[in-house]
């Protein structure tokens, strides 16, 4: 009986996860190129380019998706950045971040390939959600050339690294009902961020609504509409891109 119950619970959990991490129709639509934004995908890197602007001096967004989530679920955020005139890139995590994919050296190799391109961004902000936020923190520690800012979304990190000495602008976005990064966990690591960090608390926001996908296992129900939470996140990321100083250093 217990074996059958365990198997049933596993099947239910796996089935729920397969559905939960799928991108919404809005996210899939954001992947389609049009007269405003050109979308391409190559070697694990998604590129969202403003179709009517080639301003190489503008700050770019380099985004890392959450573990297990289909990267397409973050397309609306990158599209919004591109539609506002910023080049935006999403670096996929091997195996969607599962089984150590977030720590796979290929993640940094993909970033280095992006930064070695002839059209590489001169200044860029590293950002990520959940496990992707952990990767973004690791990138900030590594100090790749041109790093102009850091945005940590829906994560209790930095937990394993100390970023308190980072001199580029840092933004932390937190949902007060995040079931995977509680207020207590987030506050526990506050000292590992710079004193000047900009904190954005989204009252009633949860973990899942930082992306355009379903309800994630382990999360809490939000008390505000998903669209309201996502709009607040997009506005904050755009503000982080606009406020990067012209001359930046990584540390």
Position 17 scores a pLDDT of 53
**Residue 249 pLDDT > 60:** no
Tell me the whole-structure pTM to 2 decimals: 0.89
Cβ-Cβ contacts under 8 Å for 222 (sequence gap 6 or more): 175, 177, 204, 205, 206, 208, 209, 229
Over the stretch 188-215, which tens digit does the pLDDT of each residue have? Answer: 999 999 999 999 999 999 999 999 999 9
pLDDT at 137: 97
- Residue range 83-105: mean pLDDT, rounded: 86
Measured distance CA(189)–CA(202) in Å, rounded: 18
Buried-exposed string 71-95: b where 16+ CB fall within 10 A, e elsewhere? bbbbbbbbbbbbbbebbbbbbbbbe
Mean of the per-residue pLDDT values for the chain? 89
Task: Give the pLDDT band of residue 165 (cuts 50, 70, 90).
Answer: very high
Longest CA pairwise span in the chain (Å): 65
Answer whether 230's CB lies under 8 Å from 154's CB: no
The Cα 136–Cα 97 span in angstroms is 13
pLDDT for position 56: 53
User: In terms of pLDDT, which residue wins out, 52 or 223?
Assistant: 223
Residue 119 is predicted with a pLDDT of 82
Q: Which fold has domain 25-242?
A: Rossmann fold (3.40.50)
Query: How much of the chain, in percent, has pLDDT values that exceed 70?
Result: 87
- pLDDT tens per residue, range 3-60: 544 444 444 444 555 578 999 999 999 999 999 999 999 999 999 999 875 555 589 9
């Amino acid at each position: 009986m217990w074996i059958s119950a365990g198997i049933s619970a596993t099947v239910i959990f796996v089935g729920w996860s397969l559905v939960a991490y799928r991108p919404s129709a809005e996210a899939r639509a954001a992947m389609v190129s049009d007269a405003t934004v050109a979308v391409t995908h190559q070697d694990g890197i998604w590129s969202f380019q403003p179709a009517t602007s080639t301003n190489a001096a503008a700050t770019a967004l380099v985004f890392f998706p959450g573990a297990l989530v289909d990267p397409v679920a973050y397309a609306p955020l990158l599209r919004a950045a591109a539609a506002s005139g910023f080049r935006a890139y999403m670096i996929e995590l091997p195996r969607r971040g599962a089984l150590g994919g977030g720590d796979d050296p290929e993640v940094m190799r993909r970033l280095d390939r992006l930064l070695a391109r002839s059209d590489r961004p001169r200044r860029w902000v590293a950002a990520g959600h959940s496990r992707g936020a952990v990767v973004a923190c690791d990138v900030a520690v590594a100090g790749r050339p041109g790093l102009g800012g850091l945005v940590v979304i829906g994560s209790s990190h930095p937990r394993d690294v100390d970023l308190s000495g980072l001199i580029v602008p840092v933004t932390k976005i937190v949902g007060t009902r995040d079931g995977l990064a509680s207020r207590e966990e987030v506050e526990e690591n506050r000292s590992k961020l710079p004193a000047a960090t900009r904190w954005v608390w989204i009252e009633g926001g949860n973990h899942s609504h930082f992306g355009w996908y379903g309800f994630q296992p382990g999360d809490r129900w939000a008390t505000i509409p998903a669209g309201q939470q996502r709009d607040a996140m997009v506005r904050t990321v755009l503000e982080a891109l606009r406020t990067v100083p012209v001359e930046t250093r990584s540390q």
